Each structure stands twice: as structure tokens, then as C-alpha cells.
Amino acid sequence: MICTFGHYRASFGTSGARGLATQFTDEVCASFTLAFLTVMQEKSPISRLAIGLDRRPSSPRMAAACTAAARAMGIEVLDYGILPTPALALQAMAGDMPALMITGSHIPFDRNGIKFYRPDGEISKADETAIMAVKVALPPLGPIERAPESDAARQRYLARYIEWFTGQPLSGKRIGLYEHSAAGRELSLEILEALGAEAIPLGRSEDFVPVDTEAVGEEDRARAREWTRAHQLDALLTTDGDGDRPLLADEQGEWLRGDIVGLLCARALGIDALAVPVSCNSAIEACGAFTRVLRTRIGSPYVLAGMEQLAGEHARVAGFEANGGFLLGSDLEAEGRRLRALPTRDALLPALTLMVSAAQQGLPLSALVGDLPNRHTASDRLKDVPTERSRALLIRWQDDLPAMERELGLAQPITKVDRTDGLRATLANGEIVHLRPSGNAPELRCYAEADSPDRASALVETVLGRLAKLT
């Protein structure tokens, strides 16, 4: 058959191809692999492909189908097993080879996806377009089976953080690790212990748990407070399914927002210029810690493009997203140590940086936010809303702001609208309501910003309640 994607329902979201697990048949996985490697070979010769996967029940078969397709093209496959996405990306970049990560990240277990990496990092939007345009014959596939697993990528990722955070800086700290079904749960535990922490594993699950770091449910909030109290924790750490988004709670069991974690990490690392999505907290600019802040559309390809733009003008460049994933765009040096750039979302760098920073200052984790501007964000999403319906609603409102105010029950008039990604409305009292369709699932996301956590949460609750009736 001819490799073409017009009749496949799996398609690119904000980070890789996504769809129902049943849509990622052997044929679909092989076609994505063939198209990706065809585009890569147009840039330079390719002889090896790195593959990793998360713990979803559908992931091993998908990895096997991708392996079969690469082998049919005469390309050697290096299978690094279940591991965090940034660990796979780090290994692939070190080996100058492209990579495929089989993961649906945080979306429900009945869905899955494939993330694509060039030898120098994540693919761009232009690469996505090129991949979807490939039309070549799909060669006969051999056995649908995976290559033997290697532990090399996990060991490289472990060494990265042991060598950067020297001297066991977390000695004496009790760190809870909410393991659930995270791809990097054993690796995270090993890193925490290597840095001197007393790490307490919690909440392991052999069933896939779709942890969304941007929409933390009340159950997870209550669980964090209970675990922190019961185990007398200094911090509680978890990640999403593939380990590229952190979720970090302080000594009181309160989860820190991902963009605040990113802000504090960037400040602690001495970053000069940041690229961040439009949905991130405005405290990033207001804190005055950065020479330049460039706002982008939501999704790591857009943040990466922003980082590339900044790299020509600034020495220490990074980016992060509202979900907490941190992208390091420049090599960093400190006291003879070097941290190599890793321009893809990473969960451990920001989480470890904050825990180590607090420990070195003799402060509780909660104290790190003490000098930040008083701006608070909240977010959640409305599930099972077709993307077309969400877009139609936002298009109608951008031409009729009074209707948006009325239908969402906004108490203040809208004074400013940002259409960079979705519809981001600033109200007369400075509060912000931002709506956008998810790029990964049929969901309508709502972000709110206000001067207190309760007010931001109340805004999200009110808006989503109104949206549920409208959609």
C-alpha cells in the first residue's frame, strides 16, 4: 500500500501524533515510522533509530510495529524500554540519531500517541507537515516484535542529575514520590536517593493513571495533603505518564502550579531569556528576573521556535509550559560542572532545582514563592467536547465580546483580547479568562488568573459550569 495519512484518524496534536489506541494499528504505526524516517533521510543519512515507551497497555505493540517498519527500511532499532521521554531524547541526541517515544503523555489510557525526535531534538511544525505529506510505498513488514532492551538511556539520564547536583544536597529531606504508572518511577526514586533524600514511594499502580499536571483533581489534592501530613514530607513529587511534566507539592501538601515551578527554576538557573506560552502566569514578566520573555502559542514546538529566536541574542535561554515541562536551550556551567542543553520538556530538572534550592537556603519549599508578584492561576477542562464545536464557539465570541461576557457570567467587562492561541480575555479588574481547544484530546481547556488562588479557581469553576451548558 501507499503510506498516506488522509484516511487515518490519528493525527498530530500539540506534541506528536495522538488518537485512540485502537486507531494505532500496525499499519498506522508503520506508516508514521516510514514517513518520519523518510523525512529524516532527506536531511541526512539515517542508520539507527531509538525507541522508548510508556506503561500504557497498547504501547508495547505500537513499539513493535514501529520497530518492524524501521527494520524493513534497513535501519537498526535501539529499544530503551520504559523510560521518561526526556531520557530517550537525551540519549538520542548524544547518539546523533532520531527517536520515537510511544506515549499518550497525560491523556486517558484508551488513547496513545507517538512523539518524534530529530537527532538534534524535537521535530518542528514544518517537520509535522512534511511527515503528513509523505506518499511512498509501505514495504513488507517482517515479524512485529521489539528489539532487545538497553538500559543505557536510563543510566545517562541518572548521571545527568547526579553530576549536576553534587554533594547529596537533599540529605535529611523526606521526599514523597507519587509513583502511579509513571514511566520514570523507578528512575526518579533512584535519582532522589542518589541526591541524599529519604525517598518514600507512594501510590504505585499497575493500571495506567492519566495524571494531568494542568488539571489536578480534588482527589489528588486531598491525597497530597494526607500523604504529606502522614509521612512528614518536605516535598511530594510526581510526573505525568511519560515523565516530561512535573507535579510538585510543598511541605504542606499544596501542589505548585507548573508555570510557577518553571519561573522559579529559570530564576534559580540564572536564565536570561524565556519563551513561554501565552497561557502562563503574568508573574513571569512582573517579577523582573528575565531580560526578555517571548510569548508563544501553546505546545512545545512553538516554545522551541521561540527559544531558537532568542538564542541569537541571549546566552542563557530556556522555556517552559504551564504544565511545568522545562526546556533547557543553552548549556549551563557552574563551579566546573556543565549541564547540557536538553530542548524538550523535562520534569526532573525544575522539580530537583526547586528542592535543592530550598534545601541549600534552609527554607521550606513554600517559601520560594514568597517574593513573587501576587498573581495566581488555575485551570481545568471540559471533557468530551469536539474540537470543531469549541472552535466555533470561540470564533463566535471573538466577534461578539458582550455575548462572551453574558454567556460566561463574567462580572467585569472584557478590556483586552489575545488571540495567539484560543481566546484570552483580560477583564477590567485585571483578571484573565483563557479558553482554547486541547490539541491532544476532545477537551475545552480553561485557564484563569487572579490575585488569589481561590478567586482563580472560582473563575474556572464558573466558566466551566457555563460552558457545560453551552456545549
Catalytic site residue from 31, 105, 279, 438: 105
Which stretches does DSSP call E strand in 106-258? Answer: 111-118, 121-122, 136-137, 174-180, 198-204, 235-239, 246-249
DSSP string, 317-344: EEEE-TT--EEE-S-EEETTEEE--EEE
What DSSP element (H or E) covers 397? helix 387-398
CB 13 within 8 A of CB 23: no
Q: What grid cell was written down for 84?
A: 521518561
By CB atoms closer than 10 A (0-12, 13-18, 19+), residue 296 is buried
Catalytic site includes residue 105: yes
DSSP string, 137-176: EPPPP----PPPB--HHHHHHHHHHHHHS-S-TTTT-EEE
**CA dist list (Å): 66 to 72, 101, 154, 256:** 10, 10, 21, 37
Task: Write down the residue that cell numbers 498573581 correspond to.
Answer: 375
CB 432 within 8 A of CB 448: yes
CB 130 within 8 A of CB 39: yes
Q: What grid cell was written down for 228?
A: 504529606
Distance in angstroms (rounded) separating the CA atoms of residues 208 and 101 = 17
Total count of residues recorded for the chain? 471
CB 318 within 8 A of CB 329: yes
What DSSP element (H or E) covers 33? helix 26-43
Taking alpha carbons only, the member of 286, 441, 261, 280 closest to residue 352 is 261
* Residues designated catalytic: 105
